[in-house]
Amino acid sequence: IGMGASLPPARPVEHAQYDFGGGFPDPASFPYDGIVEATARMMKAEGAQALTYGTPQGYLGLRELVCHKYELFEGLKVKPENIVVSNGSGHALSLAFSAFLDVGDVMITEAPTFSGTLHTIRRHGPEIVDVPVDGDGLVTSVLREKLAALRKQGRRCKLIYTIPNFQNPAGPTLTLKRRQEVVALAQEFDTVILEDDAYGELRFEGEPQPSLFSLDTSGRVVRAGTISKILGAGMRLGWLLAPSALVPVLQSFLFGGGVAPFTSRVSTWYMRDNMAEHVKVLVNVYRDKRDAMLRGLWEILKGTDVEISKPEGGFFIWIKLPAGTDTKRLQTLAGEARVQYTAGPAFFPNGGGERHIRLAFSYESPEKCYEGARLLARAIVNAKA
């Protein structure tokens, strides 16, 4: 096989006709020229550092930019020494699981929760106890019950994994009252919270809530972030924001040569001039797509007992299918319409979710979100058992 034989021609990523599957960012919004230009400028100023080994904690310029981001969007003041850079937020989360979990330990996730994280968690071998989500987010009364039940058995929950903003996949944003309760419960039951916040800036409406990290005063919250949703997932840059005492242990699972010196610098050089403005553009882009998808769904499904989330931000819509939907049939019909979605069971750690599906409105154009939603909605109607 020759060198570069498969280099593809200029074309977008291959997807289904209507790809509502993964949380792929909108390719039309990628700042192609800006990144090329930032690469050239950065290489002049910092080329030697960009092309050699970095520090395990990550490029200081990027860590400063992350601090600036937190201050800009939520008034949270944190320091670069509390940021650990990673190869995307999936890797960031895995650092926390590696640090806190041994095989057989108990941890808690939401049900449903992000399927990608469930994969990472399973490789770490803990027992997962799940807590449901309602319109206000993680149900804290059930969280208390589960923590208390574990204590009764002489076991300790090592970690609570939660997605407080535009929960993936279910959509709700955790209320302030519940945020305070989760933090208090972590303290009462001596456990750590892993707060996954990949979408926080992409809020279309409603009031932002303080992060669990900012509400905590006992050094128990580790927060994961990413530039995948506001610049480009192909950079594979994420981070953990952690209390000082936890930084060394999280860093101890960063193997080899410092994280991403080149892409850290390319991204930083682009974002320090463009982040706020670019995020504003994205909020409008994704709000339009969400609205188009919801319009398409409701035009066909109104009058049924379907339940459809309306998230205040992020990439996903969560659907509870009408009673009596034959989900196998739905899969066939949606396939025929070339609409890709993700079936609910992928998001449940211990079973369930058969009546649910998740749609990502992030990737396709508003027009295709609308059309594809209508096609899928018709498939749902026709999949009535």
Residues 65-94 that bind a copy of itself (CB under 8 A): 65, 67-68, 79-80, 87-91, 93-94
Only one of the segments 208-216, 253-261, 287-295, 302-310 lies at the binding site for a copy of itself (rule: CB under 8 A); that segment is: 253-261
User: Residue 286 interacts with a copy of itself (CB under 8 A)?
Assistant: no
Backbone phi, then psi, for 68, in 5-degree steps? -60, -40
Per-residue contact flags (x/-) with a copy of itself for residues 139 to 178, judged by CB under 8 A: ----------------------------------------
The smaller minimum CB distance to a copy of itself, of residues 265 and 374, is found at: 265
Shortest CB 24 distance to a copy of itself, Å: 6
Q: Which of 18, 19, 20, 35 binds a copy of itself (CB under 8 A)?
A: 35
Q: Which two tokens stand for residue 196?
A: 């996954």
Q: How far is residue 92's CA from residue 114's CA, in Å, rounded to a whole number? A: 14
Q: Which of 106, 131, 150, 266 binds a copy of itself (CB under 8 A)?
A: 266
> Residue 281: helix, strand or coil by DSSP?
helix
Q: Which of 256, 302, 303, 351 binds a copy of itself (CB under 8 A)?
A: 256
The smaller minimum CB distance to a copy of itself, of residues 268 and 325, is found at: 268
User: Residue 248 interacts with a copy of itself (CB under 8 A)?
Assistant: no
Only one of the segments 115-123, 168-176, 284-292, 298-306 lies at the binding site for a copy of itself (rule: CB under 8 A); that segment is: 115-123
Listed in sequence order, the residues at least 6 apart from 244 whose beta carbon sits closer than 8 Å to its beta carbon are 81, 82, 219
User: Residue 45 interacts with a copy of itself (CB under 8 A)?
Assistant: yes
121: how many CB neighbours lie within 10 A of its CB?
A: 21
Backbone phi, then psi, for 317, in 5-degree steps? -115, 140
Q: How far is residue 53's CA from residue 66's CA, in Å, rounded to a whole number? A: 21
Q: How far is residue 242's CA from residue 96's CA, in Å, rounded to a whole number? A: 10
> Residue 129: helix, strand or coil by DSSP?
strand
Q: Which amino acid is at 106?
A: V
Per-residue contact flags (x/-) with a copy of itself for residues 119 to 138, judged by CB under 8 A: xx--x---------------
Largest CA-CA distance found in the chain, in angstroms, rounded: 64
Sort 134 into a burial class: Cβ within 10 Å, 0-12 / 13-18 / 19+. exposed
Q: Which of 16, 21, 60, 365 binds a copy of itself (CB under 8 A)?
A: 60
Q: Which amino acid is at 300?
A: I
Helix (H), strand (E) counts: the chain: 11, 14
Listed in sequence order, the residues at least 6 apart from 195 whose beta carbon sits closer than 8 Å to its beta carbon are 162, 163, 164, 211, 212, 213, 221, 222, 223, 224
Only one of the segments 214-222, 266-274, 280-288, 309-317 lies at the binding site for a copy of itself (rule: CB under 8 A); that segment is: 266-274
The smaller minimum CB distance to a copy of itself, of residues 85 and 185, is found at: 85
User: Residue 281 interacts with a copy of itself (CB under 8 A)?
Assistant: no
Only one of the segments 62-70, 167-175, 184-192, 204-212 lies at the binding site for a copy of itself (rule: CB under 8 A); that segment is: 62-70
The smaller minimum CB distance to a copy of itself, of residues 62 and 293, is found at: 62
The smaller minimum CB distance to a copy of itself, of residues 1 and 245, is found at: 1
